[in-house]
Amino acid sequence: MRAYLRPDGRKGIRNVVAVAYLVECAQHVAREIWWPHRGRGAHLIGFGGCYPNAYAFRMMSQLCRHPNVGAVLLVSLGCESFDRDALARLIRESGRPVELLVIQDRGGTRPTIDAGRAWVERSLDALGRAPRAEMGIHELIVGTICGGSDATSGISANPAAGRAFDLLVQAGGTAIFEETGELIGCEHIMARRAARPELAPELIACVDKAARHYATLGHGSFATGNAAGGLTTIEEKSMGAYSKSGRSPISGIIKPGDVPPAGGLYLLDVVPDGDVRFGFANINDIAEIAELIACGSHLILFTTGRGSVVGSAISPVIKICANPQTYRRMAEDMDIDAGRILEGKATLDQVGREIFDHVARAADGEPTASERLGHQEFALTYKSFEPLGPACLPRAVR
């Protein structure tokens, strides 16, 4: 695979200019800057909140320095609490070109849009000359998520994604699964897969925290569409979600913005620590995809039974459809027809290999279905996390 070599030594599979707004009041200006360049490698991301949040700052700093990102334009209103200068400094220290536009200092909407569009145009031209380097499959970080799940998800697409994860880990790559709110009941099964004895209770604690969180809110991670699609209980949904992790040993636990320190399989703990302060932890699939990307995921495996059309900014999304009827109805939005397993036309291992091969092709530049359709969804909200404990990561890299 040919990758883009960044000044900080990381390798990216895409060459993106990120246009990032730092408060919702700057979102319109940032969107207008991004819009003419949306098909040429400019991606729009941002944080809408006005008061500060350490999680949001960490997410933005990791996303803006993601290996798929080559340059960053920051768009600030001017009176928000986001530490724009600190973010610009971190990006600059990574060796990436960065420009900060403050709307109030630039004279308002139109002058800022004009300046931003000109900067993005120059940056896209410059990124076309970015140095390239060889990249092996062992250097890839791949995340996975399920959305729009139905009764077929847990018996076709999800376990097939797990087979692909096993192949990736065997090749020395890094795999990240998450959705701790959808792993309730599977915590002791995961604990038996812990790579180290001290990791097992931490895995159980992650899921216990998620159960308490949702109990406090009076709502589980179970949508009306899940029930309409034939899922009966959160336990059934959890078993399906768990199957995306495959069968490899679990190497560690990470939190949003933590990049895995070595190859292996990692659980991403997405439920905030402490008291419930900001409402629902995972407001939609898109917010969880952003967290996987902030952990360094070069691309995302997205399994769906009912059909989801979303993609993502920064990292490409590979859509794996569990339901053969959904695939026939929404084929243009899908990359992999895992429903063939249910029809007896393919095995789990065969579709798992197909997903793994598709990962390699996408990493080498082949556009995914969501990329061809122009999807660049993004969402970021407020959360709060405590640092990881020593048992959560492999001993050699603590």
- Same domain for 124 and 222, yes or no, is no
Q: Report the SS3 class of residue 281.
A: coil
**Is the same domain home to 152 and 205?**
yes
Share of the chain above pLDDT 70, in %: 94
Identify whether residues 181 and 42 lie together within a single domain: no
The pLDDT, as a whole number, for residue 59 is 98
In total, how many domains does the chain have?
Answer: 2
Domain match, 252 and 364 both: yes
- For residues 120 and 154, membership in a common domain is answered with no
Assess contact for 336 and 321: CB atoms under 8 A. Answer: yes
Contact 238/182 with Cβ under 8 angstroms?
yes
Q: 345 and 200 in one domain?
A: yes
**237-243 mean pLDDT:** 76
pLDDT of 361: 98
Question: What does the pLDDT look like over 298-355, one tens digit per residue?
Answer: 999 999 999 999 999 999 999 999 999 999 999 999 999 999 999 999 999 999 999 9
Backbone phi, psi, residue 235, to 5°: -65, -45
Residues 242 and 312 in one domain: yes
The answer to whether residues 118 and 185 belong to one domain is no
Residues 64-70 have a mean pLDDT of: 98
**CATH code where residue 30 lies:** 3.40.50.2300
Q: Tens of pLDDT along 137-183?
A: 999 999 999 987 788 888 899 999 999 999 999 999 999 999 888 88
Are 39 and 156 members of one domain?
Answer: no
Rounded to the nearest 5 degrees, what angle is found at the Cα of 131, between the Cα atoms of 129 and 136? 135
CA distance 69 to 313: 10
- The C-alpha atoms of residue 127 and residue 137 are separated, in whole angstroms, by 24
pLDDT of 236 > 50? The answer is yes
Same domain? For 123 and 272 the reply is: no
DSSP 23-86: SGGGHHHHHHHHGGGTTTTEEEEE---SS--HHHHHHHHHHHT-TTEEEEEEEE-SSSSS-HHH
Which of residues 185 and 77 earns the better pLDDT score? 77
Domain that holds residue 309: 137-397
Return the pLDDT at 396.
Answer: 57
Give yes or no: residues 282 and 390 share one domain: yes
Q: Kindly indicate the confidence band of residue 17, based on its pLDDT and cuts at 50, 70 and 90.
A: very high
* 292 & 224 share domain: yes
pLDDT tier, 398 (very low <50, low <70, confident <90, very high otherwise): very low
Q: Can you tell me the mean pLDDT for 70-91?
A: 98
Per-residue pLDDT, 151: 80
pLDDT of 240 above 80: no
The last residue of a domain, from among 83, 113, 133? 133
Quote the CA–CA distance of 61 and 195 in Å, as a whole number. Answer: 30
Q: Among 93, 113, 133, where does a domain finish?
A: 133
Q: Which of 114, 133, 152 is the last residue of a domain?
A: 133
